[in-house]
A and B are shown apart, each in its own frame.
Chain A
Amino acid sequence: MKKSQIILFILALLIWTFLAWPPDPQHLIIGILVSGFVSFMTGDMFVKRPHLFKHISRYLWFLYYIPLFIWECIKANIDVAYRVVHPDLPINPGIVKVKTTLKSDTGLTFLANSITLTPGTMSVDIDEENGFLYIHWINVRDKDMQKATEIIVKVFEDILRRIFE
């Protein structure tokens, strides 16, 4: 067993235990068999860099990331509700291009998800080689690449680099 397979086994067993919640021996035995089979078959497809799971500071930064994300999400919802209910529809849409410095797949996925759930922005496409993100913005404040990067990406990029890079 490699290290990534053991991590995948633990994750699968945890999700199985939550799905069959009051834990009893029958369900646990079946869960151990099934998740062992799954982690043996898929190998290291999901967990590419298992050495990152050892650092404690990444978990702490992740705990700091969750309340920030929830707060931005609530702000986004109130913003969208205001724009929808207003009689004149105060929108000013457009697709802008921003630059990011994250490299890993997981980091880019989390960055795109966070951008989609924060106020007024939605990611349309990712150019992985050059690190460009194309973003649909419901209220374009600046067409320039540098200033748009400062407004949209800077909120999450530092924290996500500390977690996933």
Chain B
Amino acid sequence: MRRLRYFIGLIIIILIFGVIIFYPLPSLLEWQSVLLKRCFSILFFCALFCLWRIIKGPTPADRAVAIDILGILVLGFCAILGIPTGRDWYIDIGIAWALQSFISTLALAKYLEGRNFDE
């Protein structure tokens, strides 16, 4: 029963991605930029999974882990956005976001550890 549910979920995920990526087939001249814009949906689903873990997570540690992973994913968003639009300053936003996310993760870990900041 469990295995049946697993395979049904797998088939649904593969179908969704196939339809999103390949449905109106791009012409041969501009397949790179069109494919990049559609591959964006995969990162969107990843961010949705992280949000699900933030809402559902039974302990505070789960939520902290999901926030950390979301911070690295946003860097991937910025990196892909820079290619089809041709604007170079997206990667600057990515660098600033990565620094900010690292420091906030350290603060969250310190908060989980003992709830006092001076040690």
**Chain B positions within 8 Å of A25 at CB level:** none
What B residues does A87 contact at CB under 8 A?
A: 2-3, 6-7
- Write out, one digit per residue, whether chain A residues 74-110 have a CB within 8 A of any chain B CB (1) or not (0): 0000000000000100000000000000000000000
What residues of chain A lie closer than 8 Å to B6, measured between beta carbons?
Answer: 87
Count B-side interface residues using an 8 Å CB cutoff.
Answer: 4
Interface residue SS majority, chain A: loop
Per-residue CB proximity of B1-41 to A under 8 Å, as 1/0? 01100110000000000000000000000000000000000
Q: Which DSSP category, helix, strand, loop or mixed, fits chain B's interface?
A: helix
* Chain A nearest CB, measured from B3 CB (Å): 6
**Bound CA span A87–B8, Å:** 12
| CA gap between A87 and B3 in the complex, in Å | 7
Q: How far is the CA of A87 from the CA of B6 in the complex (A)?
A: 7
Residue ID in chain B nearest A19 by CB atoms: B95
Q: Which residue of A lies closest to B5 (CB)?
A: A87
| Smallest Cβ-Cβ distance to A85: which chain B residue | B10
B30 to chain A, nearest CB (A): 29
Which residues of chain A have C-beta atoms less than 8 A from B3's C-beta?
87
Q: Taking CB as reference atom, which chain A residue is nearest B6?
A: A87
CB distance from B76 to the nearest CB of A (A): 15
Nearest A residue to B2 via CB reads: A87
In the assembled complex, the CB of A128 is this many whole angstroms from the nearest CB of chain B, namely 15
Cβ of B7: which chain A residues have Cβ within 8 Å of it?
A: 87
Closest Cβ of chain A to B66, distance in Å, is 16
A95 to B3, CA, bound (A): 29
Report Cα–Cα, A87/B2, bound state, in Å. Answer: 9
User: What residue of chain B has the Cβ atom nearest to residue A86's Cβ?
Assistant: B6
Q: In whole angstroms, what is the CA distance A27 to B3 when docked? A: 61
Q: List 4 A-B contacts (CB under 8 A).
A: A87-B2, A87-B3, A87-B6, A87-B7
Instruction: Give the interface of B toward A (CB within 8 A).
Output: 2-3, 6-7
A contact residues vs B (CB 8 Å cutoff): 87
The 3 A-B residue pairs with the shortest CB-CB distance in the complex, in nearest-first order: A87-B6, A87-B3, A87-B2
